[in-house]
């Protein structure tokens, strides 16, 4: 394990070396431009660019623990910052000193810098940053000191055997390499065609020879026998040529396959990065979020050195952030609550990355918090109008837990900038399934929650099971196919109007794929005694039996993803190009399962016509006329009727005399603040269910807890106010 960590550290240092050289070259070029003289506006733009370069280099040095480089960059940054603030002019002395600092960075990269000399250079930079009016001490010195400093700051760029390539260029190169899959697959198809030709010629010659022998034994017309002999003589060299052609095609196909597969494998290895590149984002995030919520949370990451495709890591970064934030916000309890439950005061959130067979990884997010209560999920679904009360009561615990993936459902008591939007887990499942992965959840009330995601370690060539349904070919991902069977009619049962079979003692839903996809069944139904081809498909939601017309075998294909406007097509993940040049649709197993199993939302017909036609009436309460009118104009622009109040007391008066659908209120107001207004609304029998959104400048954890205590539905901080966020919250609460 130590060797593995050393290898990762060496790779990160090599990457930093290349990046740092680019920054140093850019800084040197910009300094030269400043020395030559530039118009004030251009000079200021160059200085700002240099500031960003130094700041980026400082952060990169910190990430690989190069403290001397970080300190030098900090000193350079302070000088440039003073200039951007207008407190320091970059005269010739200052420019020479900055160049000395840049050259010092190059010297550090080469590993040849005396600590005392480096400290002196950093001290001079800091002193320069502190100057405003007094003349700066020139960098030149006399005697041995000048010689030492000149040697120290001489630009030395070490040789390197690596170059830095933009990820966009690397991705474009990989796409071009993947296009070579088409001729590779075509070559394999030509081999199959040539083999079929050889077999046909062999059968023809064999039939001719047998017929000639029969003629001879029956003493039939010798002329016919002679013709058969000539045919046999002609077929033999043709068959030989066909066999030779087949041998050449096989050799060429193998050569092309080896070259293409080797190139793609090498290209994909270039995209592999340790999982640490994403996981290193979380320690600080966990600490800050825990402090904000008054919780004690320990962070743990395992398998950070495991290499994963950069595309997979980038795609999973946002879902991981959602899951970790949910674990802290929803799962981990406060120290007091944990103590009362007999738990340690501090909770734990961990992410584990493990390698599985078949080029797959398991990404596991786990917490030892309160777990997910199915009863709360059912109540949230009813409250969010995703289910009726009767539908919610009819759901079992396992079915209720599946609702957490539904967009718009949240068990949070109040919407904040951290949680309560009901989008996190829906986004996670969507991203996992888009990568061809699976997601599952294990939870126990009072013990904790674990979310497991099975993902590809690299986005490799797609292999799928080619089948035909409704006269159309489709591909099912091989990873999702559990097995293919021939299904006898007597095995099919009908339960509650749906077909099913029993596999290994468990019930399994059954459907015709053509019917599921909305296609006409082109083939005649099988005979009663015949067995129908059936594919058992497994995804995160469980197994499903798909009846198809024909199973054609496993195929390797070149995947072509859909672009806008077909970014998300239900049941379809993309298209695959076969060796024959034919395009086939690639099915999305998770969507197929949901098409049967997912509980449908309430029909729009159940909503009364007068409810749909009526414009919601909103009350905005804020003592700032600017904020009040801004919110009023925003809400009216999207179709709401809006009344305004200058404080909580006026808002309360309006609430007692008029009907409103939702209240948007500031917290800090004269006469009656937003918290007291919310408390009065919740205590009033007629207004108790009225949604309340608090929009306030108060952003501490204690302020948000007070909002929860009085019964607010949402809490938006003005410092991070976003119009679309407010509108989305109001839309969901209504």
Q: Mean pLDDT score of the chain, rounded to an integer?
A: 78
Percent of the chain with pLDDT over 90: 12
Q: Which two tokens stand for residue 510?
A: 């059954």
Question: What phi, psi does 349 have (nearest 5°)?
Answer: -125, 130
Give the model's confidence band at 212: pLDDT under 50 very low, under 70 low, under 90 confident, else very high: low
Give the model's confidence band at 6: pLDDT under 50 very low, under 70 low, under 90 confident, else very high: low
Contact 457, 357 (CB under 8 A): no
Give the model's confidence band at 106: pLDDT under 50 very low, under 70 low, under 90 confident, else very high: confident
Lowest mean pLDDT among 148-157, 405-414, 463-472, 637-646: 148-157
Q: Which two tokens stand for residue 583?
A: 């395009």
Q: Does the predicted model carry a pTM greater than 0.75?
A: no
Question: What phi, psi does 384 have (nearest 5°)?
Answer: -85, 5
The pLDDT of residue 487 is 84
Rounded CA-CA distance 98/79 in Å is 8
Contact 331, 280 (CB under 8 A): no
Mean pLDDT value of segment 560-584: 72
- Three-state SS for 136-200 is CCCCCCCHHHHHHHHHHHCCCCCCCCCCCCCHHHHHHHHHHHHCCHHHHHHHHHHHHHHHHHHHH
The pLDDT of residue 407 is 57
Q: Which two tokens stand for residue 173?
A: 């190169």
User: Distances from the Cα of 239 to the Cαs of 195, 233, 482, 561, in angstroms?
Assistant: 11, 10, 42, 43
Which has more pLDDT, 601 or 238?
238
Tell me how long the chain is: 734
H/E segment holding residue 509 = strand 506-512
The pLDDT of residue 203 is 87
Q: Above 50 in pLDDT, residue 227?
A: yes
Q: What are 113-122's contacts with CB under 8 Å, separation 24+?
A: 113/68, 113/152, 114/148, 114/152, 115/68, 117/148, 117/149, 117/152, 118/68, 118/72, 118/152, 120/149, 121/72, 121/75, 121/149, 121/152, 121/153, 122/71, 122/72, 122/75
Q: For the stretch 548-559, what's the b/e string if a residue is b when 16 or more beta carbons lie within 10 angstroms of its beta carbon?
A: bbebeeebbbbb
Mean pLDDT value of segment 247-276: 85
The pLDDT of residue 185 is 81
Angle between helices 222-270 and 167-178 (to 10 degrees): 170
Query: Could you tell me how many helices (H) and strands (E) the chain has, helices first?
Result: 25, 23
Spell out where 525-571 has E strands: 532-539, 542-547, 550-560
pLDDT digits (tens, 9 = 90+) for 653-706: 999 888 899 999 988 888 888 889 988 998 888 888 888 888 877 666 676 677
Give the model's confidence band at 532: pLDDT under 50 very low, under 70 low, under 90 confident, else very high: confident
Rounded CA-CA distance 596/516 in Å is 8
Nearest to 126 by CA among 136, 113, 115: 136
Mean pLDDT value of segment 610-614: 49
């Amino acid at each position: 394990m130590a060797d593995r960590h050393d290898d990762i550290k060496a790779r990160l240092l090599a990457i930093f070396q290349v990046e740092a050289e680019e920054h140093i070259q850019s800084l040197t070029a910009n300094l030269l431009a400043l020395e030559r003289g530039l118009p004030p506006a251009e000079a200021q733009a160059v200085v700002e660019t240099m500031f960003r370069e130094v700041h980026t280099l400082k952060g990169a040095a910190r990430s690989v623990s190069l403290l001397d480089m970080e300190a030098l960059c900090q000193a350079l940054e302070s000088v440039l910052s003073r200039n951007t603030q207008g407190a320091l002019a970059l005269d010739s002395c200052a420019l020479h000193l900055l160049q000395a600092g840049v050259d010092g960075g190059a010297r550090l990269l080469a590993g040849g810098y005396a600590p005392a000399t480096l400290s002196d250079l950093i001290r001079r930079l800091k002193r320069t940053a502190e100057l405003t009016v007094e003349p700066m001490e020139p960098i030149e010195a006399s005697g041995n000191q000048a010689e030492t400093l000149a040697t120290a700051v001489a630009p030395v760029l070490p040789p390197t055997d690596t170059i830095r390539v933009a990820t966009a260029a690397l991705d474009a190169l990989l796409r071009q390499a993947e296009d070579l899959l088409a001729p590779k697959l075509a070559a394999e198809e030509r081999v199959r065609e040539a083999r079929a030709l050889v077999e046909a010629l062999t059968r023809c010659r064999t039939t001719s020879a047998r017929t000639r022998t029969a003629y001879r034994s029956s003493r039939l017309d010798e002329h016919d026998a002679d013709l058969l002999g000539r045919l046999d003589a002609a077929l033999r060299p043709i068959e030989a040529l066909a066999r030779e052609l087949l041998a050449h095609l096989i050799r060429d196909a193998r050569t092309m396959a080896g070259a293409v597969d080797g190139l793609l494998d090498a290209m994909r290895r270039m995209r592999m990065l340790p999982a640490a590149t994403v996981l290193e984002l979380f320690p600080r995030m966990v600490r800050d979020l825990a402090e904000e919520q008054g919780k004690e949370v320990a962070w743990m990451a395992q398998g950070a050195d495991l290499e994963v495709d950069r595309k997979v890591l980038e795609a999973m970064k946002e879902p991981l952030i959602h899951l970790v934030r949910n674990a802290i916000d929803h799962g981990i309890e406060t120290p007091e609550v944990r103590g009362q439950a007999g738990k340690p005061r501090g909770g734990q959130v961990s992410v584990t990355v493990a390698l599985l067979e078949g080029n797959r990884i398991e990404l596991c997010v786990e917490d030892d918090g309160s777990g997910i209560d199915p009863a709360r999920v059912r109540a949230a679904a009813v409250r969010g109008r995703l289910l009726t009360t009767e539908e919610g009561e009819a759901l079992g615990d396992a079915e209720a837990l599946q609702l957490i993936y539904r967009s718009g459902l949240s068990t949070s008591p109040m919407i904040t900038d951290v949680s309560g939007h009901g989008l996190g887990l829906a986004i996670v499942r969507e991203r996992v399934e888009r990568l061809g992965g699976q997601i599952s959840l294990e939870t126990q009330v009072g013990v904790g929650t674990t979310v497991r995601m099975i993902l590809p370690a690299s986005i490799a060539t797609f292999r799928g099971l080619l089948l035909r349904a409704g006269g159309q070919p489709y591909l099912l991902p091989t990873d999702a196919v559990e097995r293919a069977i021939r299904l006898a009619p007597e095995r099919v049962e009908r339960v509650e109007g749906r077909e099913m079979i029993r596999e290994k003692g468990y019930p399994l839903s059954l459907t015709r794929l053509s019917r599921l996809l909305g296609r006409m069944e082109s083939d005649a139904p099988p005979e009663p005694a015949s067995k129908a081809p059936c594919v058992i498909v497994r995804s995160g939601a469980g197994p499903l039996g798909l009846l198809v017309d024909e199973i054609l075998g496993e195929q390797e294909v070149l995947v072509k993803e859909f672009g806008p406007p077909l970014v998300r097509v239900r049941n379809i993940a993309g298209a695959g190009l076969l060796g024959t040049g034919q395009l086939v649709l690639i099915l999305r197993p998770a969507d197929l399962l949901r098409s049967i199993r997912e509980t449908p939302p309430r029909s729009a017909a159940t909503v009364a016509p007068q409810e749909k036609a009526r414009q919601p009436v909103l009350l905005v309460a804020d003592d700032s006329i600017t904020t009040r009118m801004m919110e009023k104009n925003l809400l009216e622009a999207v179709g709401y009727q809006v009344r305004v109040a200058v404080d909580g007391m006026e808002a309360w008066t309006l609430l007692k005399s008029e009907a409103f659908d939702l209240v948007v209120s500031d917290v800090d107001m004269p006469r009656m603040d937003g918290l007291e207004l919310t408390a009065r609304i919740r205590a009033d029998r007629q207004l108790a269910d009225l949604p309340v959104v608090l929009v306030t400048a108060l952003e501490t954890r204690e302020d948000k807890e007070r909002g929860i205590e009085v019964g607010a539905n949402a809490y938006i901080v003005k410092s991070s106010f976003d119009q679309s966020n407010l509108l989305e919250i109001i839309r969901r609460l209504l």
